[in-house]
Structure formats: C-alpha cells, structure tokens
Amino acid sequence: MILSSFRWRVAPATAVDAACRALAAERGISARLLGLLAARGVSTADELARFLAPAEEGLHDPRLLPDAEAALRRVAEARARDERVLVYGDFDADGLTGLSILTLALRSLGMDVEPYVPERLSDGHGLSLRAIDHADATGRTLILTADCGTSSAAEIDLARSRGIDVLVTDHHHAATWPAGAVAVVNPARDDSRYPERALTGAGVAWKVAHLLVGELDAVAGSAAPESGAAAELLRLPDSVRELADLALIGTVADVAPIVGENRSIALLGLEQLRAGARPGLAALLERAGVARDRLDLDDIGYAIAPRLNAAGRVGEAGRAARLLLASDPAEAVELASEIEAANLERREITKRALAEAVHALGLAPAPGGTATRAATETAVAPDGTAPAADLPAAGLPAALLVRGEWPVGIIGLIAGRLAEDYGRPAVVATALDAEGGALRASCRSGGAVNLAEALIACDDLLIRHGGHRNAAGFDIDPDRWPEFAARFLEIAAAEARPPGPAELTVDLVLPADSVDYALIREVGLLAPTGQGNPAPIVAVTGLTVTRVRSANGGHTQLVLRRSRDVLDAVAFRRPDLAAMLHEGDRIDVVARPGSRWFGGIESIQLEVIDVSAEGAQAAVSAQPVDGGRA
C-alpha cells in the first residue's frame, strides 16, 4: 500500500499588480515564473525590479548599523595608536567565516590582528575568560567578536577592568545588551534601524568590514557612484567584495533566509567562489569533489559548511580558521586533508550517537540489538537516521529531550536530526566533564518553537544560554535538568502543531509530460535558492514506476515512466520507498525538479520528497490539468 508522509496543499495564487505584470512581460518572465515569484513575496513592480537588479544594489549602507559610529571611531583610534587587536569568533562555520572576514579586513588596514578561535570544552560559547587572559597577556587592547558577545556582559566587564575594550559584532537575540562594550553592532537589537535584521554573524562581520574599510581606507576599491541616491551610499571596496565568499558560507551555514540583503550576499559570494576561490576554499572544494563552475548553495550547505564545522566537533576548531586565512596553497591542501579526516570521523561518531539517542528515547532498539515488531517500525536507517515514513506520529511528547555520554561537538547534529525526523523540538545534553559537572545542551526547533524565547523563559534554571529561533544552546546544572525538561515540554506543548500528517505546500501541479527543460530554466532563475527563497516544489502527476532500488546512505533511486520517455528520480533519506513502491505502480510525486550532468550530457532529475497513489491527494487531483497558477 502506498502511504504518503505528508498532506499535500497547493499554495494559493498570490495577487500580482498590473505594473508588476507589465515589467515581467518586458523582462521576458513567464506567467508561471511570475507566480512562483509572487509566492515568495515578489508581487509589485518595485519588488520585481529589486529581485532582478544587480546584487550590489541590494546592499544597505553599513553606517545604518547599530553603534556603527562608535565602532568606526574605536577602530580608527586603535589604528592610529598601533594597538594590537584580537578577533574572537565562534567555533561554528558562521563564527569562523565572520572571524576570517574581520581578520582580513583589519589586516588590509595595516593593523596587528590575531584571530582567536575558542574550543568547545575549555572556552565554551560566547566570549571566554581564557580569551581575555590571552589578550591581557599578549598586550591586545581591543577585542572584536564575530557571531558572539551579545550575551557576554560579565566577560566584557572583566575585560574592561583590565583595560581591554570589546567591540561586539553579532546577530543573536538576547534579553539585554552588554552595556560595557564600546559598541554592540547587532541588527537584532530592539533599537536597530538597520533595514535587514536577518543577517548572520558572518553577514554582520562583512557589513562591519564594509564600514571600516570603506571609511578608513582611502584607496580601497572601485570609484563611488557618480550621482543620484546611490551616491549617498558607502561604496563597496573591491577588497570587501572579495570577502563575500566567506559571508556567503556563514549565511548558508546558519540557515539565514536568502532574501533581501542576504540574497545579495549570496550572489556576490557565489560570483567570488566561481571566479576563483581563495586557497583554503579551493582545497576544501577539491576534497569535497565540488565543481567550482556549477557550485550552488546546496554545495555550501552540504559539503563546505559541515567540513568547517567538523574541525571544531572533532579536534581543534582553529584548523578551519587557518584554512580560511591561508595564503599558501600547499598549507591549504594539508589543512584541507586534516579537516576531511575530521569530517569522516565526525560522520561515524554521529551515526553511532544518533542511534543511541533514538534508543534512549524509546523509539528504536539498542544499536546492534534484536528488534521486536514494534521496534522495527521505528528502526534506524542504514546511516543511523529514523526513516521519515516510519515515525510514530501518535504518542510522542511535544519535544524530545535526551541526555547521554556523547562528545560535545556532535550534540547539535543529533538534535538537528531528531528535530527533522520527528517534526518537533529536540534538546540533546551531555556532561562537560567526567566528574558530573554542568551539562551542555544543544537545541533545534523543528520549526515549531522559538528557541531563543523558550530559553529566556527558562533563564532562572540555566547557567548560560544563547542562540536564535531555530538553533540554541545552554549550560545547566544536572540537578536542574528535570525541572527544565518539564518547563520546556510545557512551552513546546503550548506551541505544538495539530496532530496528524504534516502539511507540505506545493508550488505547482504539473502533468508528467510538462516537466521539461523550460521548467528547469525557469526554476533556475529563482537562484540562489535556500531558506526563505526555497527551490520550487512541484507535484508531478501520472507517473509509472519502472524501477526502484535502495541506494547507499538510506536513499531510494527511481526510474519513472511518462507517456514518451522516463525521468530519473532520487528520494534522499527515504529508504522506506524502496519497500513501498513496486514496478508498475501508478503514482504522483512531490519533488524539486532539477538536472544533472554526466559525461557532458544534461538530464532532468526529480528530487522526490513524497509520493502518493495516483489521484489519492485530493488537493492535487482537484487542480486543472495544465497546473496553471499565475
């Protein structure tokens, strides 16, 4: 029997004004593509013009950032006085790229800069006491943070008492702001008037680099605009444009919405990477097997960011910063090899730990154990994941909370997989040391709970906490864990979605024969796609299964026949489909249409998200045959 994992819903058509339609016709944009754009918030002529404009025109003036003037003034003083500077970045991909951006920007201004990458266990999240001690011992009188610092008021006050100023660049939300900092450049501040509030840590660092280099380096970059409103904006120096590749990686790694200014950052960053990656990224792309000329945001999210994160999850995070800052290709190749080895080790450790966590939650048998029939229904897949189609939707709590003896560096990965697979918030904790000290926990929302607000509501139980809506972390005394778990479950239950299959929104409904290269080209015009600007999801009707087989990694490969030929398809992390589908089955699928290249030949490929028996999903079967929306 063919069972769908989701209830399909066709997105309603979004109204588009006449001026927008006229501009679309002028630019050669089809009604179908205009409908897809409208569903993503582009429904007026001005919005369409901004979407189609060159990337640089989508950037905002960095002088609008909170505390921009104070930040500029303090860095100018440090430069004039030949002060020694420490740049402190978080140990994830967003923090590492933000640290690299600020380090390279300040060095381009001739300043003495040392990057400092914290270690998960000895430093933890936020500005650390060890870093302040190091700055004090080495005579560094100014610390710039990247992707952290907003929640480090006590540490900033300590640094200030030692004659060290702290300039925070960050994007995390917090209940209060550190008053002791010389500047807190964070667009998430309640008093911020900066137009883009969804920048990541690396995005904020890049805008600060734009501010500092644009104002302080009189000979940096291209000429300023000649006239008009654009002439009032601070020019984008060439040396800052070249740092957009790093800002892109942090933006994708932290799952920021790829709209507004973040879309401009993504376009500029892809342009830099495709034109010629810096030595460290070139070596990393080579090890990951990514072709630079066809690189997209998926390559960043699934190949580059995980490798940078792996350096800190397994071993020393500083290796990733040295890779990003490397100017010597030979050094870059050596560091990329070390990081590749760490990534392979991280995969194996995560696979075992995830299986243990699923068992600890009572959702699967012990790894290596004999499964009962009930346990088999939630058994882990070959790669250690819980198959989405086999999840026990009824009976699960509103959130999944689990403690175990796992490396601190992978608990975020475990939480992410649990949240994704079970469709609810997940909190995974582990002891920081063997003596029974504090627990460190990572949280992922699964799209259901604002984690930053949830942890603020639990502040009295926590030693420290930080993060944002979809990902956060905290430290807690083990004795407070039961009380925290109870309160967090109450918060999650209050925001839980209704029971039953999750809803999957479909952009277009098309008969199988309408999936052609024209569709692929139109979909490509929405790029770069990602969070907030997702790749279109299409319901493709009237397909016949001609081949189905399991693939490595818990995936299923399909060959699907339509009237005149066949389409290749792959369903990532859906091993259940290999057993559910059989040759000759008539099905409809929900998929992301795309293409692949093999031997210099392009072919259409569907990335299948869900399947149903032909006509079984009422929302799709009720649509017009041609699937028109716009």
Give residue-wise pLDDT tens across range 358-417: 999 998 776 655 433 222 222 223 232 333 333 444 478 999 999 999 988 899 999 999
User: What CA–CA distance (Å, rounded) separates 315 from 323?
Assistant: 14
pLDDT at 436: 63
pTM of the predicted model, to two decimals? 0.84
**CA distances to 66, 261, 324 from 283, in Å:** 37, 28, 10
**Directed axis angle between helix 244-253 and helix 305-313, to 10°?**
70
pLDDT at 423: 86
Burial (Cβ within 10 Å: 0-12, 13-18, ≥19) of residue 541: buried
**Residue listed under structure tokens 């392009």:** 602
User: Which stretches in the chain have pLDDT values below 50?
Assistant: 219-231, 370-394, 627-630
pLDDT at 71: 98
pLDDT at 624: 65
All domains in the chain, ordered by first residue: 6-13+503-621 (2.40.50.460), 62-218 (3.90.1640.30), 394-499 (3.10.310.30)
User: What CA–CA distance (Å, rounded) separates 516 from 42?
Assistant: 24
pLDDT at 625: 52
**Residue listed under structure tokens 């066809």:** 294
pLDDT at 384: 29
User: What CA–CA distance (Å, rounded) separates 344 from 63?
Assistant: 43
Q: Report which residue type is found at 468.
A: H
User: CB–CB of 465/484 below 8 Å?
Assistant: no
pLDDT at 294: 84
CA 165, 167, 173, 175 dihedral sign is: positive
pLDDT at 386: 33
